[in-house]
Structure 1
Amino acid sequence: MEDLKSFFEKQLNKKINIYPYKNQSLDANSHLVTFNDTVYVIDFLDENNLDNLNGHFYLIYQPHIDFEYLKGIFYNLYDDINIMQQSSFFVVNSKYNLDINVTTQNIIETETYQSTYIFYLGELDNKSDFNFRVQLCSDLLPHIVKDNAKDKFLNLFDLIRYKTLDLINKDDVLNRLIDFNKIKSIDEELLSTGIKFINNDLNISKTSSDMFLHRNTLVYRLEKINEILNLDLKNFENAMIFYLSVKSYFLYKKI
């Protein structure tokens, strides 16, 4: 497909997306061509101009991104998509909400042997919002990578969560209110247990199974956290304060 795309781009002297025609609806800027008895759709694109693009946007990040190779993967997985490059991100755009998720991320990692992060930016209809969200992802990316979370597919709620942690780090009042010295004195395994308990929806059984911990051991650790920090993680508000404080410590305070 890439050879065919290159051929048409040279002939037309324009950047295009090309994909097989499967009786899908066409835009005004879409054209049908027949090549070797196969019908294709050609969309004309300006890769450096997002002004006329709208719909759902996804950013893909890898440490050593191979743009052309990733294009091949996505064109094989999805139809009716626009593909662009923005800063260090590979961008996928579609009129429809694609089934891009953590499974897609796993497929890409298997194909490329690289750690892969996918950000769903939502449905956008203007370049300003797109640029804002791309910049936000770029700013938060080092902390997201450092967090080393299991799930590398992130949506807008995840960006809010990481931005909140970033704001905590930069706010002098919050930094004075959170006792980072006490947190630093606590065994990291104990702190991680509390985070995993919160990530598992404050569910004892789910967390003990996920961590291969005996239920009584998990309960003991949660009680120990309450004893040291006076935060009962079975209480939502206490759990929220613990999560924001400890995650902020892990991402920004640890040397």
Structure 2
Amino acid sequence: MLKKLLSIYENSILFPAKPVNPSDQFYFFSNEMENEWIGIPKGELTEKELTLLKTMYQLFEFHIPTSNSTAKGWDLYLFSEGPLPNYKPDTSLRFIQFQLNSTDTVQNEIESALQGFFSEEVIIIWENSSQGIVIEEGNSITLTDEELISMTETLESDFYVKISFFIGKFHPISDQLRSKFLVEKEYFSFGMANFITNLNILTFERIFPAYLAYHLPPEIKQRVIQVIFRVFKEDHELYSTIKVFLENNLNASLTAKKLYIHRNTLQYRIDKFIDKSGIQLKDFYGAFTVFLACLLFEQSLAK
């Protein structure tokens, strides 16, 4: 199957095995059934073509080693099981992961811009041409959520590239630091790949409900589906209204504003949902159950 792509992308390269020294100027796809690999120049793929190929084949992002000595120590620790870099025992760190929607940006310029937002010097390492990690040492001055949102907006306007962040928790220096990072990396990967890509700032709290819904046993999912999915399938507008209402802490004014509808229209839709589902939204238990159903319904639409 991959061989057919050679006739479409003439400058692509077919490999009989995983490339040893991959170039960051190519996207690399593999076909597990035939154990083939192909490298396609990034400049030859549009966003739509890349999205289509990712649904058909597995895209691999190869790790790019860093040359900075301090960052290299963290690079080896996080990705090659090297030794933990030396820090004072009472130090705490957090990993702020980021992902760009483009591979054409200059890494040095992105690094310089990121450094400028932090009051203290941070360490930045790159996983590949579009993903990296900011390692921030715990102190009394850390960026707030509002400042982080402002940072994404500034980077997007300056570099014409969309950037998403996962803000990790502060962790004390310990032998478990790598494993904690890898768990947060899994959450970020899940968030970017599954249903949460409309947000610029991701956190454990924002991702975990969807992560939990995704990993529920099929029999549990089915029980939720039987109760609420029928209502959402009959009226998708009702689903989106209820989800925004719950995401905004049942605040009718804020929800109406975000949906560009009158409060009376919002109340009509809420009453309609309650009447059809038989579930109240005024207490935590009803709201939690319906929000879980919203997440499952959203995931079903993406399949």
TM-score, L = length of structure 2: 0.62
Partner of 2:295: 247
Which one of 102, 105, 118 corresponds to residue 64 of structure 1? 102
1:52-98 CA distances to partner (integer Å, 9 max, x unpaired)? Answer: 17612100111224333321211233341101123652100121363
CA distance in 2 between counterparts of 1:161 and 1:148 reads: 15
Instruction: List runs of 5+ in structure 1 lacking aligned partners.
Output: 1-13, 18-42
Which one of 131, 137, 153 corresponds to residue 188 of structure 2? 137
Q: Which amino acid aligns with 1:93?
A: I
Q: Which amino acid aligns with 2:124?
A: I
Question: Do the aligned partners of 2:122 and 2:136 also contact (CA within 8 Å) in 1?
Answer: yes
Deviates more, 1:219-228 or 1:112-121: 112-121
Residue 226, structure 1, aligned to residue 274, structure 2 = yes
Partner of 2:125: 84
CA distance in 1 between counterparts of 2:102 and 2:295 reads: 27
CA distance in 2 between counterparts of 1:178 and 1:136 reads: 24
The alignment covers a number of residue pairs equal to 212
Q: Which amino acid aligns with 1:212?
A: Y
1:105-127 CA distances to partner (integer Å, 9 max, x unpaired)? Answer: 21222122222210011123322
How far residue 254 of structure 1 moved from its aligned partner, in angstroms, is: 4.6
Which one of 220, 239, 253 corresponds to residue 174 of structure 1? 220
Partner of 2:9: none
Which one of 96, 99, 110 corresponds to residue 138 of structure 2? 96
Residue 127, structure 1, aligned to residue 178, structure 2 = yes
Partner of 1:110: 157
1:7-26 equivalent positions in 2, closer than 5 A: 15-16=67-68
RMSD (CA atoms): 2.5
CA distance in 2 between counterparts of 1:186 and 1:44 reads: 53
Distance 1:114 1:44, change over 3 A: closer
Deviates more, 1:55-64 or 1:91-100: 91-100
Question: Do the aligned partners of 2:248 and 2:255 also contact (CA within 8 Å) in 1?
Answer: yes
Which one of 242, 251, 263 corresponds to residue 203 of structure 1? 251
Residue 55, structure 1, aligned to residue 106, structure 2 = no
Question: Do the aligned partners of 1:183 and 1:246 also contact (CA within 8 Å) in 2?
Answer: no
Question: Do the aligned partners of 2:232 and 2:239 also contact (CA within 8 Å) in 1?
Answer: no
* Identical aligned residues as a percent: 17
Partner of 1:213: 261
CA distance in 1 between counterparts of 2:71 and 2:124 reads: 12
Question: Do the aligned partners of 2:245 and 2:251 also contact (CA within 8 Å) in 1?
Answer: yes
Instruction: List runs of 5+ in structure 2 lacking aligned partners.
Output: 1-65, 78-83, 87-91
CA distance in 2 between counterparts of 1:90 and 1:199 reads: 29
Question: Do the aligned partners of 2:123 and 2:134 also contact (CA within 8 Å) in 1?
Answer: yes
Distance 1:220 1:68, change over 3 A: same
CA distance in 2 between counterparts of 1:142 and 1:183 reads: 27
Distance 1:175 1:122, change over 3 A: same
